[in-house]
Amino acid sequence: MSAHPDEAFLAVLVQRGHLSMDHAQAIVPSLRGGGSLDDLLEDVAGWDSEKVHRLRITRGGEEPQIKGYKILGKLGAGGTAEVFKARDLERGKTVALKILSAPLAREHKSLAAFVREAKMLKQMEHDSICGGHGVKRAGETIFAVLDHVEGQTLQEILDAADAPLPEEQALEVILQVAEALEYMNSMGLVHRDVKPGNIMLTPRGRAKLIDLGFCAPVGEVGPSDTAAGTKAFLAPEQALGGGVADLRSDIYSLGATLFQLTVGRLPFGDGEDDDVLRKHVMEQLSSPELKGKSLSTHLQYFIEKMMAKDADVRYQTWVELIADMSGQLEGKRSADFHASAKPSKRRRAPKRPS
């Protein structure tokens, strides 16, 4: 028996979490026998005609239609949501719509976390945090309205170049992110998922945090059997599970980000298995690239201090880290200026920070 033309759409509904596999398998024989898919969805899945029509015209949400917005294209997708570039017709402004996936929109815990993130973003005003304008519902579609940020994530930049960033540029980016995280900490929050994929870089060189999905109040204890965040960037205390949310964990993850930006690879591998977590907890940071002549001793110091296994050895405040890093950048600019003004005068190599 030949496949029915609507079977491809049926597969989309299953793949996007609108329809269970059991329901789809129950529908296929009748569909191939000449039945109408729309009628079968109403009879077998219990959908009304309005829902069937909405999923038809949006191809199951692949091409969303939301009143008050003109969709201009898809910006990206993650494990929980898809992000679309859109025109806010009322405000006449380009925005980003972050649409929660259909299965998660039906789960209380996931929906609550999505709403919580949207509300936090609405409260924040910082040049290095992508701002938000609240969460909305259009039928069964749950979405957050965000500022539209032109540019690429640091991960996309690294992947496209297949090479690390220049040291000074990397430090500038990390400094901006540190200032955003210090701002969040002043509001009693820690990020818990700092990584290149969650940092956008605009054409003008402004770094912006774009995802606060794992954000938590300072001092909140995580689940004992899970590690919140992305394994390749987790601090040892996060990797063990059940750790207290602490700014020093964000400092570790930012250090791992700085490592990847300047060395060109992850410190303990890019897998999502338990071996990566074990290395974050048990193995000391070792990198021949950091010991080489191409990267400064100051950069080596920053990474080693930020990624210390013992949280008490890391920077203890964002203010301390920002002061050290901004001082290094300002000193380098001053040294470069004087060197260009007086090319005949040689400068002594800087000593390792103590």
C-alpha 333/C-alpha 330 separation (Å) is: 5
Which listed residue (6, 193, 246, 250) is catalytic?
193
Domains of the chain: 69-147 (3.30.200.20), 152-341 (1.10.510.10)
256-306 pLDDT, tens digit each: 999 999 998 888 766 555 555 555 554 566 666 666 667 889 999 999 999
CA 318, 323, 329, 333 dihedral sign is positive
Ramachandran quadrant class, 92 (left: phi over 0; alpha: psi -120 to 50; beta: rest):
left
**pLDDT tens string for the chain (354 positions)?**
567 788 999 999 999 999 999 999 999 999 988 899 999 999 988 999 999 999 999 999 999 999 999 999 999 888 899 999 999 999 999 999 999 999 999 999 999 999 999 999 999 999 999 999 999 999 889 999 999 999 999 999 999 998 999 999 999 999 999 999 999 999 999 999 999 999 999 999 999 999 888 898 887 765 544 456 678 888 888 877 656 778 999 999 999 999 999 998 888 766 555 555 555 554 566 666 666 667 889 999 999 999 999 999 999 999 999 999 999 998 877 666 444 444 434 333 333 444
Q: How, if at all, do strands 207-209 and 199-201 pair?
A: antiparallel
144: β partners: 98, 135
- For residue 153, how many other CB atoms are within 10 A of its CB? 20
- Give the per-residue pLDDT at 162: 86
Name the residue type at position 195.
Answer: K
Helix (H, G, I), strand (E, B) or coil at 121: helix
* Assigned token pair, 168: 């000074």
- For residue 152, how many other CB atoms are within 10 A of its CB? 16
C-alpha 230/C-alpha 297 separation (Å) is: 28
C-alpha 59/C-alpha 107 separation (Å) is: 22
What pTM, to 2 d.p., does this model score? 0.81
Q: Residue 310 catalytic?
A: no
Helix (H, G, I), strand (E, B) or coil at 83: strand
CA 240, 241, 242, 247 dihedral sign is positive
How crowded is the C-beta side of 207, counted as CA atoms within 13 Å? 23
- Biggest alpha carbon–alpha carbon distance for the chain: 87
Give the angle subtended at the CA of 93 by the CAs of 88 and 95, to the nearest 5°: 70
C-alpha 301/C-alpha 290 separation (Å) is: 10
